[in-house]
Amino acid sequence: MTLRTTRRSVLLAGTAAGATIAMPWVAKGAAEFQLKYANNSPTAHPLNVRAVEAMERIKQETNGRVEIQIFPNNQLGSDTDMLSQLRSGAIEFFTLSGLILSTLVPVASINGIGFVWESYDKVWPAMDGALGAYIRAQIAKAGLHAFERQWDNGYRQMTSSTRPIKGPDDLKGFKIRVPPSPLWTSMFKAFDAAPMSINFSEVYSALQTKVAEGQENPLSIIFFAKLFEVQKYLSETNHMWDGFWFLANGKAWNGLPADVREVIAKNLNKSALDQRTDICKQNETFKADLTAKGMEFIKVDPKPFREKLQAAGFYKEWKGKYGDEAWAALEKFTGPIA
């Protein structure tokens, strides 16, 4: 399927769902640099709200030379499709979970190792510091540019339409959707669950048709993608922390004039920080919001989950895969793992 066809067909679907973003700063044919940015997130999600602000500032500060059009909500296809489009240059920008990016840059999933991040006070110094720099250097080797500041996806929670997940034993044989990434599949296999790799663009329908019983995502995604309509139980597992890298096609990025690059980078990095604050603030009210939508929250003890992963050899296996240097860069911030 060509990009053109994909975009047309999905734009139609997007319009029906009210999922388009008004972009008054985009005037077709006017700007010197007309660029495209795509993502998988609902339009009301802080990722898109803050991206809109960044693109407005970028247009202003470049005196109209740069217009970046946003394609939210999988309008251009799944994460897998959009990653191909980014690599081929069909789109210039894309935000992607590091865990999914690991299909191209293996070390990019390292921050997703389960049950290692005590709090955001540990996460951001790592991702803004040496761990993030290490990952970005590997991303650059794959021909992509990652902006310094990562955007927050969040701490992930497990949900289910069939049975509540209270401890690791409840995951036995559980048909859980996971994003396409070896780390996710490996972790849920270690729990003896039955993980199925499905792109986010297909998650709502996979849950609705009960192809999958459950899934796991941060509260913001569960709320804005309306997963509460097709899921009943929400277990507060905080099992992984996940963030979005704001990525550019390396060739397209390096082809832009230095002054333009500076304005784009400055504004994307600023909006990333604003977006992180939004997620934190909204997390305070999501529990009440999702309960009002009919979800039942379950408090869980993370300890038995972690012990199960350890007993299954999960940490040892992934330390071996990432290598000692990367693992040390992680442990520098999380403290000793396993």
| Residue 48 touches ligand X2X, criterion: CB under 6 A | no
Alpha-carbon gap, residue 102 to 270, rounded angstroms: 25
Which residue blocks in the chain are alpha helix, DSSP H? 3-16, 46-61, 79-88, 98-101, 120-127, 130-141, 182-190, 203-208, 219-224, 250-254, 258-292, 302-311, 314-322, 324-334
Alpha-carbon gap, residue 252 to 145, rounded angstroms: 10
Q: What spatial distance separates the first Cα and last Cα of the chain, rounded to whole Å?
A: 45
Q: Which residue, 101 or 260, has its beta carbon nearer to ligand X2X?
A: 101
| Residue 74 touches ligand X2X, criterion: CB under 6 A | no
# binding residues, ligand X2X (CB under 6 A)? 9
| Residue 75 touches ligand X2X, criterion: CB under 6 A | no
Which of 33, 37, 41, 22 is CA-nearest to residue 246? Answer: 37
Show the binding pattern over residues 147-176: x = contacts ligand X2X (CB under 6 A), - = does not: ------x-----------------------
Calculate the dihedral angle through the C-alpha atoms of 4, 10, 11, 16, rounding to the nearest 10 degrees: 160
Element (H, E) at 60: helix 46-61
| Residue 231 touches ligand X2X, criterion: CB under 6 A | no
Taking CB under 6 A as the criterion, the residue among 62, 85, 97, 235 binding ligand X2X is: 97
| Residue 221 touches ligand X2X, criterion: CB under 6 A | yes
| Residue 217 touches ligand X2X, criterion: CB under 6 A | yes
Whole-number minimum distance, CB 199 to ligand X2X, in Å?
7
Q: Which residue, 14 or 179, has its beta carbon nearer to ligand X2X?
A: 179
Q: Which residue, 248 or 256, has its beta carbon nearer to ligand X2X?
A: 248
| Residue 42 touches ligand X2X, criterion: CB under 6 A | no
| Residue 78 touches ligand X2X, criterion: CB under 6 A | no
Whole-number minimum distance, CB 171 to ligand X2X, in Å?
17
| Residue 238 touches ligand X2X, criterion: CB under 6 A | no
Query: Phi/psi of residue 169, each to 5°?
Result: -65, -30
Q: Which residue, 21 or 82, has its beta carbon nearer to ligand X2X?
A: 82
Tokens 């990432």 identify what position? 322
Whole-number minimum distance, CB 156 to ligand X2X, in Å?
7
| Residue 98 touches ligand X2X, criterion: CB under 6 A | no
Which of 184, 175, 176 is CA-nearest to residue 242? Answer: 184
Residue type, 2: T
Alpha-carbon gap, residue 219 to 278, rounded angstroms: 12
Show the binding pattern over residues 173-212: x = contacts ligand X2X (CB under 6 A), - = does not: ------x--------------------x------------
| Residue 35 touches ligand X2X, criterion: CB under 6 A | no
Q: Which residue, 112 or 132, has its beta carbon nearer to ligand X2X?
A: 112
Alpha-carbon gap, residue 191 to 173, rounded angstroms: 9
> Which residues, in sequence order, are bridge partners of residue 197?
178
| Residue 228 touches ligand X2X, criterion: CB under 6 A | no
CB 327 within 8 A of CB 259: no
| Residue 220 touches ligand X2X, criterion: CB under 6 A | no
Q: Which two tokens stand for residue 191?
A: 């729990």
CB 41 within 8 A of CB 72: yes
CB 151 within 8 A of CB 124: no
Residues that bind ligand X2X (CB under 6 A): 40, 97, 100, 153, 179, 200, 217, 221, 242
